[in-house]
Homo-oligomer: A and B are copies of this chain.
């Protein structure tokens, strides 16, 4: 049997699955940020005409998937799988969107690493000839995440300086085996769960950075690549605190990241004047930045090859209250410019 393994943790996609289209639908605060005009839709109201924020999260997830399909005139009947998830308990935004879209559904939970997890599994489905096209999507909503993971907004708690602001938004990509494309997926490194004993639910960056460093080192060791082999190494949503920790850890590991060549999605979404402290987070952060910034730059040829690594903090209010620490996980996928680049 042919193997598509490189080293212990890395997978190669020999057919280089194509990202045929992408879309991002975000909330109003995200729309005011530096990527505002690059999102497909920035809502005027985070409630999106719904009766609850959970319903809005579902509607945003669905809208991003539908816009992604519409851009390439792909009828939903032809979609052979939706792989995705969100931060709601029981990933209800993705599940309800899957119900409305009527496509085969494989639900994922990787906290804020979900977009990379879905792109990796989606690429395997396409590369191996198991399904094409497939939709990969991840979303989050500030108002539901605060209520579920920390406090209801009405409580008005004070945010610490290490806190990140969950992105309201969903990013979706359509992967396929043929056609013009924005980018192609090349290889992926599936991460392990790493836990350095952090207990602070308001410091997601510190929980995720060790996992990011672990996956990044494994990627370089497996592939023989170095940071300079990528035009940009892009982490999911480490924010200011987590990015600094990752930079230090990579310096120590012998794979230092040059500042010009490393960026974090958590530092791209909000206007610095918008008082979000350590930056943006949430499944929807890396997913919407992928669609609004990373794929366009790969498509235009500004970047030839990037490593997209979404990072997740496996935070549970229940286990945290029981004294558990907060583990992190990070998955990396290498993306190359599309055929028009």
Which chain A residues have a beta carbon within 8 Å of chain B's beta carbons? 1-5, 8-9, 11, 15, 51-52, 54-55, 80-81, 85, 88-92, 95-96, 98-99, 102-111, 117, 120-121, 124-125, 127-131, 148, 177, 190-195, 314-319, 322, 324, 327, 329
**Which chain B residues border A111 with CB–CB below 8 Å?**
90
Q: Is the CB of B127 within 8 A of A89?
A: no
Name the residue among A89, A128, A322, A329 with the largest chain B CB count within 10 angstroms: A128
**Which chain B residues border A314 with CB–CB below 8 Å?**
90, 92, 95-96
A124 to chain B, nearest CB (A): 5
CA distance A314 to B314 in the complex (A): 21
**Which chain B residues border A92 with CB–CB below 8 Å?**
314, 316, 318-319, 324
Q: Is the CB of B131 within 8 A of A5?
A: yes
**Which chain B residues border A88 with CB–CB below 8 Å?**
316, 318
CA distance A126 to B125 in the complex (A): 12
Q: Is the CB of B5 within 8 A of A129?
A: yes
CA distance A318 to B318 in the complex (A): 16
A39 to chain B, nearest CB (A): 26
Q: Could you show 28 A-B contacts with beta carbons less than 8 Å apart?
A: A2-B129, A3-B129, A5-B131, A8-B80, A11-B130, A51-B322, A89-B90, A90-B111, A90-B314, A91-B109, A92-B314, A92-B319, A95-B329, A96-B314, A96-B319, A98-B329, A99-B327, A104-B190, A105-B190, A105-B191, A105-B329, A106-B108, A106-B117, A106-B120, A107-B117, A108-B109, A124-B125, A128-B129
**Which chain B residues border A148 with CB–CB below 8 Å?**
318
A66 to chain B, nearest CB (A): 16
**Which chain B residues border A90 with CB–CB below 8 Å?**
89, 109, 111, 314-316
A55 to chain B, nearest CB (A): 7
Closest partner residue, chain B, to A55 (CB atom): B322
**Which chain B residues border A130 with CB–CB below 8 Å?**
4-5, 11, 124, 128
Closest partner residue, chain B, to A51 (CB atom): B322
The 4 closest A-B pairs by CB, nearest first: A128-B128, A104-B190, A99-B193, A90-B316
Known: A89-B316, A104-B190. 8 other contacts (CB 8 A): A1-B177, A4-B129, A51-B322, A88-B318, A91-B109, A92-B319, A92-B324, A105-B190
Q: Is the CB of B128 within 8 A of A124?
A: yes
A69 to chain B, nearest CB (A): 16
**Which chain B residues border A9 with CB–CB below 8 Å?**
80, 104
CA distance A131 to B80 in the complex (A): 22
Contact of A108 among B5, B108, B127, B317 (CB under 8 A): B108
CA distance A15 to B130 in the complex (A): 13
CA distance A322 to B9 in the complex (A): 42
**Which chain B residues border A317 with CB–CB below 8 Å?**
89
Given contacts A5-B130, A128-B124, contact A107 B106 (CB under 8 A): no
**Which chain B residues border A109 with CB–CB below 8 Å?**
85, 90-91, 107-109
**Which chain B residues border A108 with CB–CB below 8 Å?**
106-109
**Which chain B residues border A131 with CB–CB below 8 Å?**
5, 11, 190
A47 to chain B, nearest CB (A): 13
